[in-house]
Structure formats: C-alpha cells, structure tokens
Structure 1
C-alpha cells in the first residue's frame, strides 16, 4: 500500500487531507511542521508528501530542499500546497523539486487528479 505524509501546521487541514488520502487508498502519517516531517522521512520515506508552503519553524521550501538532498529523498512525489496564487512561488517550488502543486482549499477530486498526474493513484477509486 502506498504511503503519504501530510505536512501542515493546521490540524484541520491535516484531518481533511488524511480523510481524503485514506479514502484514496493511501496509508497516512502526519507532521505539523517541517522539522518533524524530515524526521519522519528519515525513519521511513513515504511515497507521497502533501507539503504546506507556509509553516512556522521551517517553511515548505526549506523542507523540500532538505528532503531532496537526503538519502532516498528523490523518491517521494511532493505535492506542495499553498493558498498563494503567486506564479513565482509556484515556479520556485517546482524548480526546487516539487512534482505538482495544489491550491487551498482542495477537495477529493483535486487530490485524486494530482495523484494521478504524478503516477500515484492506482487505488484512487477504492472508496
């Protein structure tokens, strides 16, 4: 079964994303900041990371750069999540190694479509 790490400082976003991802057939873990996310990735690299862009302690950009430089850090598909419609920020994230981006608020269809785009939605319609 594929795994997904949800990284967001909002407990509500993590809860909603967890419910959607589990409904799409993924096993989910959560981190409320980038430091904890990188620690979880060091223990067991997930197949996908849903990564919030604006977080305290370590923003999504710093997490993404550190993840991509870590052992096996090239493997997860990273979907960065933002409320900003800033083309420059989106380009910067994609250049740093994000595979796709998602605008908040998102729903099940958006997440399923993005997972399909990066090749991770084999079990997408199990729920």
Structure 2
C-alpha cells in the first residue's frame, strides 16, 4: 500500500482530503505544517500533499525540506491551493514539487496526477 502524508493546518480540509486519499487506497498520515518534516522522516511516505497555507515556512521552503529530508528515496510532493499564484507555483515546482493542484480537486484528477508522477494507485 502506498503511503501518503497530508500536510494541512485546517482540520476540515484534512478530513475531506483524507477521505479522498483513503478512497484511492492510500495509507494516510496527517500533519500540521510545523510537524511535516518530522512526520515525513518518521513515516517515509511515497507522496506528500501539502497545503499552500500550511505553517512551517513558505510553501517553497516546505517543499524543499520535504524533498531533502526523509529516508531513502525522496517523496513525490504536490502543493495544493485555493487561489492561483503563478509565482509561488513556479517556485515550488523549481524546488521539486511534482505539480500544483487547485482546490477543489476530485478523485479522478488526483489519481491522474499520481500516475503522471509515476505512482501506481
């Protein structure tokens, strides 16, 4: 089973996205922005979804730390946001994010993006 870390400080968003991820068969761990790196190191997820509004630094820095930390192969990281910010999106992709997703997204789009990043769900 593929492991996923969901990084979001909003409990309601975490709950909704966790249901979506579970529906795809992903084993999901949850973390707030400030705990993301520790949880990532402890759980070695295959994929990380991180909210653009998560605490713990700028989204660019969070993506960079998540990609550099961990054991073994770095996780595939996706940033998700409610509003478009092309500069931020470009910066996070340059730091190693596989892609940026705009909320709301559905199961089909998420499954497509995971496959596009080379992950089988």
Same fold (TM > 0.5): yes
* 1:7-30 Cα shifts (integer Å, max 9, x gaps): 011111111111111111110000
CA positional deviation for 1:94: 0.3
Match of 1:47 in 2: 46
Match of 1:81 in 2: 80
Question: Map of 1:1-127 to 2, 5 A cutoff?
Answer: 1-33=1-33, 35-72=34-71, 75-120=74-119, 122-123=120-121
Runs of 4+ that moved beyond 4 A: none
* 1:56-115 Cα shifts (integer Å, max 9, x gaps): 343322211212222447521101111231221111110011011100112212211111
Change (3 A) 1:74 1:84: farther
The count of corresponding residues between Structure 1 and Structure 2 is 121
Question: RMSD of the TM alignment (CA)?
Answer: 1.7
Query: Do the aligned residues in 2 keep the contact of 1:67 with 1:73 (CA within 8 Å)?
Result: no
Gaps of 5+ in 2: none
Question: What TM-score, normalized by structure 2, do the two folds share?
Answer: 0.89
